[in-house]
Chain A
Amino acid sequence: MTADTYYLPQGNEVDIFQRAAKNHLPVLIKGPTGCGKTRFVHHMAGILGRNIHTVACHDDLTATDLVGRHLIGAEGTYWQDGPLTRAVREGAICYLDEVVEARKDTTVVLHPLSDYRRVLPIERTGELVEAHEDFMLVISYNPGYQNIMKGLKPSTRQRFVGLSFNYPNAEQETAIIQKETGITQVVAERLVKLGHDLRRLKDHGLEESASTRLLIYTAMMINDGLSEKEACLSCLAEPLTDDAQTLTAIRRLIEAHFGCRK
């Protein structure tokens, strides 16, 4: 990753992250979808000049998938490092996205890496890999999803420096949309206001609120010549809900912001 991955800090998260990196502490990032968690990690990787290995977690992810496995080559079997081991050896950032999706016993493999020991025991080969000076562990998840069987073990959680993310405030979000898409300030401001209104519907008609990412997609479509109303309908209303009544309300809301049917 390069240092020019655009990211607009919302608070002192950059500073906290840098201090965590300096002190070899792992970081946990939580926040709703599309608020800039992944972008932030990539941005920080750029600043720190480290590589980043991303793992999208799912419920069939095993410790083997993280640590590595034996494979068969032309000359018999050989050991292949997993993304975690690679990051540990070369001193990169290992980023586990949506870590709650992984089973709890899988995440236990992170424990020896996330405390003072900073080692990764590889059971299969009997190797004990000491983490490179620059190795850093970052995990993220969205606390909004409600499944009672999922969640981080408290013993896992308590090994991390926590950063809570949310959607940026109106001015910052306007700046982000403009920077990302090159759209005019007036339109960006209106989009942000619309997004702000839609976020009030979280838990009332919408499972997830309109993310900064969705607003950026909308702005991209508008910038490409699609009418504002159509762009909002297809990039904001439709992805957010399937419910006809909720769509009616959102359509009215879009009309309130971007003019109504002639």
Chain B
Amino acid sequence: MEELAGRFWHHFVTRQTCSDHTAASVDLAGLLQPLTLYYRALGGSPARQIAPADPRRMNIERTLAQRIAGTHGKLMLSWQDEQGVYLPPTIACFPKRELNEALYFWLAALSSRLPVVKHWVADNLQASAVLLHRYPGLVTIYRKLVDATITMETSTYHVNISEFDCKPELIELLQNPEDSNPGLTIANDHPVPVPLWFYPPPTREASVGVDDDPDSDQTMTRKVFRLPNIRKKASRVDDRKETDGLLVFQLESLFSWTEHVQLDRCQEENLDEDITSAAKDLDIITLSRQRKASGAKINFDLDLPSPQNDDLPVGDGIKLPEWNYKKQELVSDFCLLQPMLSDTSTPCALPEHLQHLAQRLIPHFSALQLTRRWHKRQPVGDDIDLDGWLDSVCEPVQSPERHTCYKAKTAQARDLACLLLADLSLSTDTLVSDGQRVIEVIRDTLLLFSEAMNHTKDRLAIYGFSSVKNKHIRYHLLKNFPEPYSDDTRGRIMAVRPGYYTRLGAAIRQSCNVLNQQGSEQRLLLIISDGKPNDIDQYEGRYGIEDTRHAVIEARQQGIIPFCITIDSDANTYLPYLFGHNGYAVVQDASRLPLLLPQLYLQLTTTNHHS
């Protein structure tokens, strides 16, 4: 009863303060792809992703009703930084669906012209003016949006600007962005939320890096939680001092507090159960510098195994360069790649559940040994070779042999080396739909593919990779080019385990080096991945993407054909930039990967699709 009354009160009181036009609401998720394309066409940086923003605490005066209802403490603001453009997950502030949708496209267009916002009035006005000047078609829709904004009713995450003191100036500025003297009359410190504009990023980027070395600990399989589609602010605190912990002084001298309380909560129980909703409730997620702490329960448990338990390192490691997009230079010898060979694997046969699949695939691959093409002047064949016939007729001395006047489709050898590079990072430990883990799917794929390839003359090598920062890139040899496919190879593939991160650029560079030693006419680099390149140092977001892209470009320059197969459903947003339009394939149902990869290989390497 109490709950019912509470719910009723909540509905009643929020209705007094908000009017969402739910019937006209538009979701970002449905528009993400066109918005991204639109943003890029207008000149937005291809490395930035469009993502949903999070409601954000605003320092505005609330009316009594709003305070009673507890609404409008947080508002939905659009913002952007180096990595991405963050737009409201839903827009329902205008009564017409058309307008709400147009607002999304306006925001995407505006962000393409905006730097990271410093002055909320001046920057937005300037960018609007430039945009309207360059795209005269936008003027009509801009006017409509401004009119709608001025007359807008306050909704859950948007506030009517008439509630602010600077309303007349603001309306004036909104209506004439071209000829306004950039909002110098309005101070920068108390931004008014205008749905049409972008705002400065919420907090400074956490600049304190994670710095404790991953200490040896047994690897535990932990659940990975994913937040549903929203962007959280992050800050990182320096909690290394052992004396830190409790604040011991008189409480009266406390000036303020933030949500970070320096308590050591390692032993807190049941954190797993509600960790996602806890993360959702927090405005700022504070990350500890010590990854052993409770925060480790979310994701940071990637400690290296002790040398006894680890695979056998081969050699002293290989130094490789890395592309730093901020400096726009290839930093030589930045990465240390360690080839690894499993010494604990036991040779084994092909698992039973794959045997019938392999039997189905092998005929296709046997036929692939040679490419089929027309051969002329054959004594027998499928079609008449007119030239051959004419020649034999024109011949002054008729040979007693049979006329060779047919053409036949026969096979001819080809020269192709393929290196399969599999992502073995910890993210492959997650589950796919039917209870299988990604790593198991990858394992099956590798086994089935090498089984099929064993029946062609194409040469195959298989490597896996993972990484912990730039000085430890693990490059697992599963099968090299000269080695025959055998029980040993299968044993090594069966022994792959997920771990660590994805420094894709270095792995690609090393794979290219291996491929180049082959001297084949065609060299194909197939990459199996399950997500974006990332690592725990600066190798994430744009840095990782730019480095990988650079490695792919280098590969192309060396005459290697890189191709990426991914099971990441978000891959359409970044893979085209990495591998080009024809350079990748997204597998929607990961469990089908083992069968799809061989098919894809056939499709990629067969010249005559109709044959």
Interface residues of A (CB under 8 A from B): 59-60, 62, 64, 69-72, 77, 103, 124, 145-150, 190, 193, 197-198, 200-207, 245-246, 248-250, 252-260, 262
Please, which residue of chain B has its CB at the minimum distance from the CB of A124? B391
Which of A69, A149, A204, A252 interacts with B46 by CB under 8 Å?
A: A204
B22 located at the interface, meaning its Cβ lies under 8 Å from any Cβ of chain A in the complex? no
CB pair A258 B43 closer than 8 Å: no
Provide the residues of chain B in CB contact with A255, threshold 8 Å.
Answer: 137-138, 141
B422 to chain A, nearest CB (A): 20
The yes or no answer to B581 lying at the interface (CB within 8 A) is yes
B527 within 8 A of A: no
What are some 24 contacts across the A-B interface (CB < 8 A)?
Answer: A77-B394, A145-B582, A146-B582, A148-B522, A149-B522, A193-B134, A197-B41, A197-B43, A200-B40, A200-B46, A201-B41, A203-B577, A203-B581, A204-B36, A205-B576, A207-B582, A246-B34, A249-B33, A249-B34, A249-B35, A255-B138, A258-B137, A259-B140, A260-B141
Known pairs A246-B37, A249-B35, A259-B136; A204 contacts B576 (CB<8 A): yes
- Chain B residue nearest to A243 (CB atoms) is B33
Pairwise interchain contact A253-B582, C-beta atoms closer than 8 A: no
A248 to B32, CA, bound (A): 11
- Interface residue tally of chain B, by bracket? 35 or more
Interface centre among A62, A200, A252, A262 (most CB of B within 10 A): A252
The 9 A-B pairs of least Cβ separation, nearest first, read A249-B37, A249-B34, A146-B582, A70-B390, A248-B34, A256-B135, A245-B33, A149-B607, A197-B41
- For residue B374, which residues in chain A have a CB less than 8 angstroms away from its CB? 60
How many A-B contacts are there with CB distance less than 8 Å?
112
Interchain CB contact under 8 A, A257 and B135: yes
Q: In the complex, which residues of chain B have a beta carbon less than 8 angstroms from the beta carbon of A64?
A: 387
Q: Give 1 or 0 for each of B59-92: 1 = CB within 8 Å of chain A CB.
A: 0000000000000000000000000000000000
B41 touches A249 (CB 8 A): yes
* Residues in B whose Cβ lies below 8 Å from that of A262: 140
The contact string, 1 if C-beta is below 8 Å from chain A, for chain B 116-152, is 0000000000000000001111101100000000000
Would you give the shortest CB distance from B421 to chain A, in whole angstroms?
16
B137 contacts A257, C-beta separation under 8 Å: yes
Q: Which residue of B lies closest to A247 (CB)?
A: B34
Tell me the complex Cα distance, A62–B136, Å: 53
Majority secondary structure of chain A interface residues (helix, strand, loop or mixed): mixed
- How near does chain A come to B602, taking the closest CB pair, in angstroms? 12
CA A255 – CA B387 in complex, angstroms? 57
Minimum Cβ distance to chain B for residue A256 (Å):
4
Interface centre among A150, A197, A198 (most CB of B within 10 A): A197
> Do B141 and A146 have beta carbons less than 8 Å apart?
no
Say how far B376's CB is from chain A's closest CB, in angstroms: 8
- Are B109 and A256 in contact, CB atoms less than 8 angstroms apart? yes
Chain B residue numbers with a CB within 8 Å of A190 are 136
A203 neighbours in B (Cβ, 8 Å): 576-577, 580-581
- Among A202, A257, A260, which residue has the most Cβ atoms of chain B within 10 A? A260
Contact B37 A201 (CB under 8 A): yes
Pick the most buried of B38, B41, B391, B577: most chain A CB atoms within 10 A of its CB: B41
- Bound complex: CA A250 to CA B42 (Å): 11
Kindly list chain A residues whose C-beta atoms are within 8 Å of the C-beta of B608. Answer: 59
B313 sits at the interface (CB 8 A): no
